[in-house]
Amino acid sequence: MASVPPVPLTSFHPSFCQGNVPETRVDSEALRKLREADAQTVSLALEALDRDSSAELPPELAGLMERLPASLLPPGLDIPSVLANWKLASTEEAKVLLSSLNVLATFFGDGPNFPPIDTDLDPDSDDGLSSFETGIEGTGAEVGRRDPDSLDQKLALLEMEPAGFVKDDVEPEPPRPSGQAIRDYHLRSVIKRAQFGLMIELSTIPPYLYAMYSIKPLGEHNVRARELIRVILQQEMLHLSLSGNLMAALGGLPRLYDPRVVPQYPGYVLCSQSKVHLEALTPSALERFVRIESPETIDQPTAYLASDYRTIGAFYDDLIERIRHLPDSQFKKSMKRQFDGKDFFNSEILFPITNRITAQRALDIIVEQGEGNLNAEDSHYEVFKNLLSGPPCDVYNVRTDPQTEHYKPRNYPNPRGYIHQLCLSFDAAYCYLLQTIEQVWRTNTPGRLTLLRNIHSIMSSVLTPLAEILVHQELTLKGPDGKFLHAAPCFNYYPMVNGIAAPALSPRQLHQALVEEVKNALAAFPTRRDPNMKTEAINVAKKVSDAADRAAIVAKAAAKDTAQKAADTKKTADAANKAVNPGPDDPRLSTEAKVAATEKAAADAKKVTDAAAASSEASSIFATVEEIRKRTGELQVALEVTGADHNDLAARIGQQALRFADQTVAIAEVARRMGFKADAEAAEREAKAARDAGIQIHRDRQRVIEKATLARLLSYIKGSLAPPPSTTPSA
| Structural domains of the chain ordered from first start | 14-156 (no CATH), 183-395 (1.20.1260.10), 403-528 (no CATH), 534-718 (no CATH)
Mean pLDDT computed over every residue of the chain: 69
Q: What's the start-to-end Cα distance of the chain, in Å? A: 45
Lowest mean pLDDT among 57-71, 108-122, 570-584, 623-637: 108-122
| pLDDT tens digit sequence for 163-189 | 222 333 333 443 444 443 445 567 888
Residues with Cβ within 8 Å of 120's Cβ and at least 6 positions away in sequence, in order, are 128, 251, 252, 253, 729, 731
Q: Dump the DSSP string for 266-305.
A: SEE-TTS--EE----S-HHHHHHHHHHTPPP-S--PPP-S
User: In 42-139, at which residue ranges do the beta strands (DSSP E only) sit?
Assistant: 83-84, 87-88, 118-119
Cis peptide before 266 (omega within 30 of 0): yes
Kindly state the average pLDDT of the residues 497-501: 82
Q: Which long-range contacts (CB under 8 A, 24 or more apart) does 217-221 make?
A: 218/394, 219/394, 221/390, 221/391, 221/393
Of the candidates 450, 444, 402, the one whose C-alpha atom is nearest the C-alpha of residue 423 is: 402
Q: Residue 118 in contact with residue 126, Cβ under 8 Å?
A: no
Give the pLDDT score at 264: 85
Taking the C-alpha atoms of residue 516 and residue 522, their distance in angstroms, rounded to an integer, is 10
Question: With the C-alpha atoms ordered 161, 165, 171, 177, is the resulting torsion angle positive or negative?
Answer: positive
pLDDT surpassing 70 at residue 281: yes
**Helix ranges, 325-399 (H):** 356-369, 380-389
Q: Which residues of 604-632 are buried (b: 16+ CB within 10 A; e: fewer)?
A: beebbebbbebbebbbebbebbbebbebb
| pLDDT tens digit sequence for 21-72 | 333 333 444 444 454 455 556 666 656 655 554 455 555 555 555 555 444 4
Amino acid at 304: Y
For residue 663, what are the CA distances in angstroms to 410, 543, 666? Answer: 44, 15, 5
Taking the C-alpha atoms of residue 250 and residue 118, their distance in angstroms, rounded to an integer, is 11
